[in-house]
Chains A and B, each alone.
Chain A
Amino acid sequence: NAGVTQTPKFQVLKTGQSMTLQCAQDMNHNSMYWYRQDPGMGLRLIYYSASEGTTDKGEVPNGYNVSRLNKREFSLRLESAAPSQTSVYFCASRDRNTGELFFGEGSRLTVL
């Protein structure tokens, strides 16, 4: 059981570079989410996708774009990375019956 898979697990970028974080789930969930977590803090919602073909802004969407490629995949793109985007990024999908969020292992991004 793979669950939620995120790639890459680690990435170092220079200011101004772009990159895409990939996320895929194999649980046939409709809803998917991207969060960021800074040291000692909670998870802040960046974007979410209630279902295939829809995306909505969360609490901290500025500087990010998302694509819900299909039901399985939900990617997060940083067009021009800034040091303030140094964080751990978590992708999650939600079981509509239980409300439970299943998280990937996280992607640790450092922007120099």
Chain B
Amino acid sequence: GQSLEQPSEVTAVEGAIVQINCTYQTSGFYGLSWYQQHDGGAPTFLSYNALDGLEETGRFSSFLSRSDSYGYLLLQELQMKDSASYFCAVRGGTGGFKTIFGAGTRLFVKA
């Protein structure tokens, strides 16, 4: 089966850097994704890593180590609007069609 572990809550101050870790278990790994969700909204895509290494998109970066079954999302220059829930999600199973989400990390950004 597939499962993911990520911290339930993280608090940081505006302008700081925060890292949200994710460890996963899956059969047939195809990639690790990150999604952001504001209260009352739908999840929106942030990044996707299929290979080891760092992917950077503006203030957000995502890292993957397949040998460690581990990834993280790095948020830089935190802004108040970054207060949201962040989910890691793993693609696995036969053909990589099955995408399972972690329970989410609630990020609180303080002034």
Interface residues of A (CB under 8 A from B): 31, 33, 35, 41-45, 48, 50, 56, 58-59, 90, 94, 98-106
**Beta-carbon nearest neighbor of A59 in chain B:** B100
Q: Give Cα A102 to B89, complex, Å.
A: 13
Q: Give Cα A112 to B33, complex, Å.
A: 35
Interface SS, A side: strand
Check A104/B97 contact, CB under 8 A, given A41-B103, A43-B87, A98-B48. Answer: no
B35 in the interface (beta carbon within 8 A) = yes
Q: Does B98 contact A103, Cβ atoms closer than 8 Å? A: no
Q: Does A99 contact B91, Cβ atoms closer than 8 Å? A: yes
Show 13 A/B contacts (Cβ-Cβ < 8 Å), sorted by A. Answer: A35-B101, A42-B102, A43-B43, A43-B87, A45-B101, A50-B97, A56-B98, A58-B100, A94-B99, A99-B31, A100-B45, A101-B45, A103-B43
Q: Give Cα A41 to B29, complex, Å.
A: 23
Q: Give Cα A31 to B94, complex, Å.
A: 13
Q: Give Cα A43 to B100, complex, Å.
A: 8
B12 in the interface (beta carbon within 8 A) = no
Which residues of chain A are near B58, meaning CB under 8 Å? Answer: none
Q: Does A100 contact B33, Cβ atoms closer than 8 Å? A: yes
How many residue pairs link A and B with beta carbons under 8 A? The number is 55
B44 in the interface (beta carbon within 8 A) = yes
Check A101/B50 contact, CB under 8 A, given A44-B101, A45-B100, A48-B98. Answer: no
Q: Give Cα A59 to B43, complex, Å.
A: 19
Beyond A42-B102, A43-B101, A58-B98: 19 further Cβ-contacts under 8 Å?
A31-B97, A41-B103, A41-B104, A42-B87, A42-B101, A43-B43, A44-B101, A50-B95, A56-B98, A90-B43, A98-B48, A99-B30, A99-B31, A99-B48, A99-B91, A101-B35, A101-B45, A101-B89, A103-B44
